[in-house]
Structure 1
């Protein structure tokens, strides 16, 4: 099984900036979300010692993974570039509203677009690297992975795992206070305890 986590809220999330391969630190709420996810996983996992934590190397995901690892007793955090967020190329770091004003069709019906980002990654490129990561894992039931990723790459990962089409995968929720269980070809959502926004 895989427990898939999105990083906690960041400064860029709060500002509605496209992060892509850029980075920004977790907000205070983001730290609280990561701790809530860690507590939830501690309750779900009986023996953390037999689990691996694999994270995108981008700072926001790595910080979230390290918080979770601490709550689980100090598990080592492995980094894997294949879990990185999609790059928007020249739009990385820009406000979503600015990009939408210049290119009204950029975000499409799912709220995210792949091919429209100047110099950014295509859906196929993200799916290829995320799919390669999935294919590299041990088969179920020997798979015990906590994966810490991002909004878009996490959507693609869940879509590939559940055999969803591109549009359906793109319309999935991307909460920062929940865990997705990927098991037996299905995806289930487990919410954390409620947190008040700051």
Structure 2
């Protein structure tokens, strides 16, 4: 299985915010630019004209543009970014320093803001990847999700310390993740 996943374009007005499932808008020109980039890549490499996108608008709207251009677009909740709970959408300086320190002290299992722990995010991404077909898949997603998929593709586990977390991929950057093909689904028993 090969996953070609692009990070969404730069969202509007998110400087210095804890950004997970908060759903800011994106400049329409940047959305069209990424859609064109994906379209050219797929044509050049003879890939299917089907895209999977996170339900958050910074990814979903790229899929909608491609859909209007004749692509099949699948909105997939499994591609949603990490859940930062009550931290999500807050400026980093407004988040209690003691909570951030607690997260850093227990990086793998602490649930920031009562949201989703890194261990939980890893399990979610791993399950999503395991369900993919052997054929190439194109997608638009988020930096945290993509980092997890990249680590899994490299055979790495959940980072235990914050310093081991990779830098985020750039906006509109392509990541290629290859894993073993998903196990075939057993046939269903015949109906009586």
TM bin, normalised by shorter chain, reads: 0.7 to 0.9
- TM-score (normalised: structure 2): 0.75
Q: How many residues are matched? A: 174
Q: Identify if the C-alpha distance between structure 1 residues 60 and 119 changes in structure 2 by more than 3 Å, giving closer, same or farther.
A: same
TM superposition shift of 1:33: 3.8
Asked if structure 1 preserves the Cα contact closer than 8 Å seen for 2:83 and 2:116, the reply is yes
Say yes or no: does 1:75 pair with 2:71. yes
Q: Write out aligned runs for 1:170-189 (5 A).
A: 170-183=165-178
Local SS of the residue matching 1:50: coil
Match of 2:114 in 1: 119
Q: Over aligned residues, Cα RMSD in angstroms?
A: 2.9
Structure 2 residue corresponding to 1:147, chosen from 107, 122, 139: 139
Q: Identify if the C-alpha distance between structure 1 residues 137 and 159 changes in structure 2 by more than 3 Å, giving closer, same or farther.
A: same
Greater Rg, structure 1 or structure 2? Answer: 2
TM superposition shift of 1:6: 1.3
Match of 2:186 in 1: none
Match of 2:84 in 1: 88
Q: Distance between the aligned counterparts of 2:78 and 2:10, measured in 1? A: 21
TM superposition shift of 1:95: 0.6
Q: Distance between the aligned counterparts of 1:95 and 1:114, measured in 2? A: 23
TM superposition shift of 1:126: 0.9
TM superposition shift of 1:114: 6.7
- TM-score (normalised: structure 1): 0.73
Asked if structure 2 preserves the Cα contact closer than 8 Å seen for 1:55 and 1:147, the reply is yes
Q: Which sections of structure 2, spanning at least 5 residues, go unmatched?
A: 181-192
Q: Distance between the aligned counterparts of 2:109 and 2:61, measured in 1? A: 26
